[in-house]
Amino acid sequence: MYLLGEQPAYADAWVNRLQSIAGQLLQDLPQCLPKRELEPGDDLAQLLDEACVYWVESGLIKASLNERALFYLQDGDLLGLNQGHELYAKPRLSAEAPVSLVPYARAELLAHLSASAERQALLIEYLQGQTLLLCDAITRLKQPEFRSSNGFKRVAAGETLIAQGDDADHVFIITDGHAEAFVDGHKVGDVPKDEIFGAMAVFTSEKRSATVIASVPCTVMLIPKDQFLSLTQSNPRIAHSLIESMARRIESLNRQVTQQRNEG
């Protein structure tokens, strides 16, 4: 299997290992049909027998889904080991040059693998290795703006989460714990678990209007500004929840101001 894009060095080692495993899985197993020599084409799957698993002797096969190339199978790879299900989309197989395939009966191959604990372990390693390769490729192919860059931070009691006057580059959610908000050194409110805070300055592009300090040990999730703004645009429920939360805070601040004036 050849990954798309720039392939890291550790992936090369995985590929070499998997190709050596494929040969061990087929050792002492006779092929069921004559070797298949396929000409270049855009839909090779229709030429293959679903009752067979094929060992790629030579050539390069491109697997695509929704017109997007996913990976390439090359010399030493197994094709058709995973039997498809009607609920799952099957990759489209194509080749730009001749391909040589050696067929093995699926039922005989599975019986061959089941008869040996060593071969069973190799099969698991082979399938896990392919899964890791594909996950690695997908991670590197994802556009940066769609990658999750959320981070979690553990803070101690008394630690400052955001400081009044700082630039607003993140929005925060306390996933565990409790914090308090201060303006000019005066407490103006509480920040309970699961409440989003720090969003006002992100929306207005102004400096932080308050300092938030953990009153107990907390775990905080940090969401980058750009990602948060994109999220609120695509999910109206989040925006609605924020508006309600901000309205409650403004109402609370108004009550505190009114109370202080009456006391004064």
List pLDDT tens digits, range 25-58: 999 999 999 999 999 998 898 888 889 999 999 9
| pLDDT score, position 236 | 59
Q: Any residues with CB less than 8 A from the CB of 11 and at least 6 apart, and which? A: 3, 133, 136
| pLDDT score, position 188 | 83
| pLDDT score, position 225 | 82
Q: Any residues with CB less than 8 A from the CB of 181 and at least 6 apart, and which? A: 187, 188, 189, 190, 191, 197, 210, 211, 212
**Banded pLDDT at 252 (limits 50, 70, 90):** low
% of the chain exceeding 90 in pLDDT = 25
Q: What is the pLDDT of residues 215-226, one digit of tens each?
A: 999 988 888 888
Helices (DSSP H) in the chain: which residue ranges? 9-26, 106-114, 117-141, 199-204, 225-234, 236-263
Q: Is the pLDDT of residue 230 over 50?
A: yes
CATH-assigned architecture of domain 153-263: Sandwich (2.60)
Q: For the domain 2-141, what is the CATH code?
A: 2.60.120.10
Q: Is the pLDDT of residue 145 over 50?
A: no
CATH 2.60.120.10 range(s) for the chain read 2-141, 153-263
Most confident of 133-147, 160-174, 232-246: 160-174
pTM to 2 decimal places:
0.51
Q: Is the pLDDT of residue 21 over 60?
A: yes
Tell me how far apart the alpha carbons of residues 203 and 57 are, in angstroms, rounded to a whole number: 59
Q: Determine the residue type at 143.
A: Q
Residue-averaged pLDDT of the chain: 80
More confident site: 193 or 146: 193
